[in-house]
Structure 1
Amino acid sequence: MNYNFDENEMPYDILERFGLTQAMIDDLPTDVLQNIHNGRKSPVLPVHITADDGEEVKARTRFSLVRTAEGGVDVLFYPQLDEFDLKLFNEQQEKNLLAGKPIVGHLESNEVGNELGSKCFFQLDPESKQVLSVPTPVIGRNIQYVADRYHLTGAEMQKLQNGDILTIVEDDEEQTIGIDLNSNTGIRFAAGNELVWKREAKRDWDKFNFGIFGCWTMDENGNLDYIPEENYTEEMWDEQKKLGMRMMQR
């Protein structure tokens, strides 16, 4: 599956229908845009649509780009939920999920008479409160690739399969590997130890994140909102000036 998308393939027309304008998308930080182009999910962003009765419905969601069968680009949305829905899991599974650990379980089937469906890896997305799932054969193939590439022992491979984080040393440098269902392969690498791996899972946003046309702001609850330049507050203008001066002094 093709997870790589060119900059000119961004489906602005689709995103615009949900209130995400080209200016808003283009003003996302460079590393966030790169992740989106690589098939990873966006941060949780504000969206709005107009219902049939004319009422505006507001929500927050992550999105990712997907390649259609015809070679075009479409958008998948992952709406932010009010709370995790963990009713399908037992007490120990809930505990592991809430601790951030991926687990193996069964995805319920919609087929009559079939209580259990596909065996999957499950993991919680703390930003959207969605329960992510990927079939175990997909993750298993990627773990096997990692095992072959880094010559992992059976015990090291088993550790990854159990959802634990593995740190190895290659060419005198630490590499940490773990299952992350938010990544496009389900496996994420970090140059460093386990603390680095965990830290890289979440991007730190400033209160004000200035772009060309406007600014992404983060409130005390971690919610992102977009303010166009013409609506900047006095505080935002002051912060932009300070940022400009710091850049000139480098």
Structure 2
Amino acid sequence: MNKVERFQDSEIPYELLASFGLTQEMVEDLPMKVLEQLLSGQRTPLLPISIQDSEGKAGNYLARLSLVRVEDGIDVMLMPYKESTLLEEFEEQQQSILRNGSALYSEQDALYYQLDASTHQIMSMPSHVIEHNIQVLGKSIDMVSSDVEQLMHGEILCLSKEESPITVGIDLTEDVGIRIVNGDRVAWEKEVAGEDLPLYSFGINGCWVNDGALSYVREEDYTQEMIDALEEKASQVRSNALHR
């Protein structure tokens, strides 16, 4: 499968990220799962960013981010949210498939298409890349040929691996075009949608709020609901420590 780039904590380009409105404090407070996605070269969920145009005027956006290694260091790829117009170029039945989050195979284009529900952009990947990766995956987890065929047709499969369920499906937000989740289809769909992140992820300086996209609230701006949630979390930690 494609090589996945790894980054060390010390390589995070804080100054560059700050130029997009993400301060070092905000980055360090990211939920552990999101921070791991960033360090493994994957795309993050939607994050609030600020970009200046050629006239120096700043605009606020939501975008997925990923780190990339370049000749002179590390840079950031931005995938902003925007309303999709390309969806209209597909036939009605194909639009329905895409809106449902499924992968659409086009034999004519030799591509797989999928709608990124967070950014509303149509993603694509060459079919031979997906098919190759599925074949490799099939060998690594002992899938039968019928499972491989179903995956290639865009279906989501729940398989048994060492008596535990794993769910596999095409997901073009992943570098290799395939997502594997420990759990059933519900767990797979929650991870794709980012619903596996809690509503509140408290850090040292503030809290990331998961309301479909991640937003950051500094500690001094916590609402009463957030204060109550933080106190409840602290109480659970104390209770768990006492019962060890």
* TM-score, structure 2 normalization: 0.86
Q: Deviations over 1:208-241 (max 9, x none)?
A: 321111111245xx34321222333455444433
2:125 matched to 1:134? yes
In structure 2, the CA distance between the partners of 1:52 and 1:67, relative to structure 1 (3 Å rule), is closer
Aligned to 2:50: 48
8 Å contact from structure 1 (residues 19, 47) kept in 2: yes
Give matches, 1:193-204, under 5 Å: 193-204=184-195
Distance, in Å, in 1 between the alignment partners of 2:136 and 2:11 is 30
Q: How many residues align?
A: 237
Distance, in Å, in 1 between the alignment partners of 2:133 and 2:92 is 29
Aligned to 1:65: 67
8 Å contact from structure 2 (residues 84, 122) kept in 1: no
Structure 1: any 5+ residue segments left out of the alignment? 107-115
Give matches, 1:60-99, under 5 Å: 60-68=62-70, 70=71, 72-83=73-84, 85-99=86-100
Aligned to 2:217: 227
8 Å contact from structure 1 (residues 80, 128) kept in 2: yes
Distance, in Å, in 2 between the alignment partners of 1:51 and 1:71 is 24
Give matches, 1:155-194, under 5 Å: 155-194=146-185
Distance, in Å, in 2 between the alignment partners of 1:129 and 1:182 is 12
2:210 matched to 1:209? no
In structure 2, the CA distance between the partners of 1:137 and 1:72, relative to structure 1 (3 Å rule), is farther
8 Å contact from structure 2 (residues 94, 104) kept in 1: yes
> Which of 4, 19, 23 is the aligned partner of 2:6?
4
Distance, in Å, in 2 between the alignment partners of 1:84 and 1:28 is 32
8 Å contact from structure 1 (residues 3, 184) kept in 2: no
8 Å contact from structure 1 (residues 65, 76) kept in 2: yes
* Letter matched to residue 208 of structure 2: W
Aligned to 1:113: none
> Which of 223, 239, 248 is the aligned partner of 2:238?
248
SS of residue paired to 1:82:
coil
By how many angstroms is 1:192 displaced? Answer: 2.8
Distance, in Å, in 2 between the alignment partners of 1:142 and 1:237 is 46
Give the RMSD, CA atoms, in angstroms: 2.3
Aligned to 2:31: 29
Greater share of residues in helix: 2
* Letter matched to residue 63 of structure 2: T
Distance, in Å, in 2 between the alignment partners of 1:242 and 1:97 is 40
In structure 2, the CA distance between the partners of 1:27 and 1:144, relative to structure 1 (3 Å rule), is same
8 Å contact from structure 1 (residues 84, 129) kept in 2: no
